[in-house]
Chain A
Amino acid sequence: MALDPQSRIRFNLEGAAVLLVDETPMGMSILVSVVTGLGAKLLYRCSTVEQAQEAVAQHHIDLAIIDGLAPSGAGYDLVKWIRQNAREPNCFAPILLTTGHTPANDIVRARDCGGNIIIRKPIAPIVLLERIIWASKEGRPYLFSETYVGPDRRFQDKPPPSGTGRRRGDAAAAAEAAPEAVAVDDAMAADIDRKAGLAS
Chain B
Amino acid sequence: MSIRIVVPKLRLAQLLRMPGGLPVVDAVANAERNLATLRPTCEAELLALLELCEQSFATLGEEFDDAGLEKIYAIAVRGIGGGRICGAPAVDTALISLCDLIDHLRSTARYDRKAVGVHVSSWRLLMGAGLPEAGAAAVLDGLQRVSLRYAEAPRDD
Interface residues of A (CB under 8 A from B): 3-16, 24-27, 29-30, 33-39, 60, 62-63, 70-71, 88-89, 92-94, 100-101, 103-105, 121-126, 129, 132-133, 135-147, 152
Complex contact B3–A145 (CB within 8 A): yes
- Bound form: Cα–Cα A124–B12 in Å: 21
Give me 15 other A-B pairs in contact (C-beta within 8 A), A14-B21, A38-B30, A71-B77 excluded.
A8-B25, A11-B16, A26-B38, A34-B35, A37-B31, A101-B96, A101-B100, A101-B103, A103-B106, A122-B92, A138-B10, A141-B5, A144-B4, A144-B6, A152-B5
Residues of A within 8 A of B37 (CB): 33
Residues of A within 8 A of B9 (CB): 138
Query: Can you list 11 A-B pairs with a CB-CB distance of less than 8 A?
Result: A5-B25, A9-B24, A10-B24, A26-B38, A26-B85, A33-B34, A37-B34, A63-B12, A89-B8, A103-B99, A139-B7
Residues of B within 8 A of A142 (CB): 5-8
| B26-85 at interface with A (beta carbon < 8 Å) | 27-35, 37-38, 41-42, 45-46, 70, 73-74, 76-85
Interface residues of B (CB under 8 A from A): 1-13, 15-25, 27-35, 37-38, 41-42, 45-46, 70, 73-74, 76-85, 89, 92, 95-96, 99-100, 103-104, 106-107
> How many pairs, one residue from A and one from B, have CB atoms within 8 Å of each other in the complex?
210
Complex contact A30–B80 (CB within 8 A): no
Complex contact B6–A141 (CB within 8 A): yes
Residue from A12, A15, A101 whose CB has the most chain B CB atoms within 10 Å: A101
Residues of B within 8 A of A129 (CB): 24, 27-28
- Bound form: Cα–Cα A69–B23 in Å: 32
Q: Is the interface of A mostly helix, strand, loop or mixed?
A: loop
Partner of A125, one of B32, B70, B77, B99: B32
Complex contact B31–A34 (CB within 8 A): yes
Say yes or no: A145-B77 contact (C-beta < 8 A), given A6-B25, A16-B15.
no
Residues of A within 8 A of B103 (CB): 101, 103-104
Complex contact B16–A136 (CB within 8 A): yes
Say yes or no: A37-B83 contact (C-beta < 8 A), given A101-B103, A139-B7.
no
- Bound form: Cα–Cα A151–B5 in Å: 9
Complex contact B1–A94 (CB within 8 A): no
Complex contact A12–B4 (CB within 8 A): no
- Bound form: Cα–Cα A168–B54 in Å: 65
Say yes or no: A101-B35 contact (C-beta < 8 A), given A7-B23, A12-B20, A143-B4.
no
Complex contact B30–A7 (CB within 8 A): no
Closest to B106 in A: A103
Complex contact A144–B3 (CB within 8 A): yes
Residues of A within 8 A of B89 (CB): 122
- Bound form: Cα–Cα A139–B8 in Å: 7
Complex contact B38–A12 (CB within 8 A): no
Complex contact B21–A141 (CB within 8 A): no
B65 to chain A, nearest CB (A): 15
Complex contact A24–B78 (CB within 8 A): yes
Residues of B within 8 A of A92 (CB): 6, 8, 10
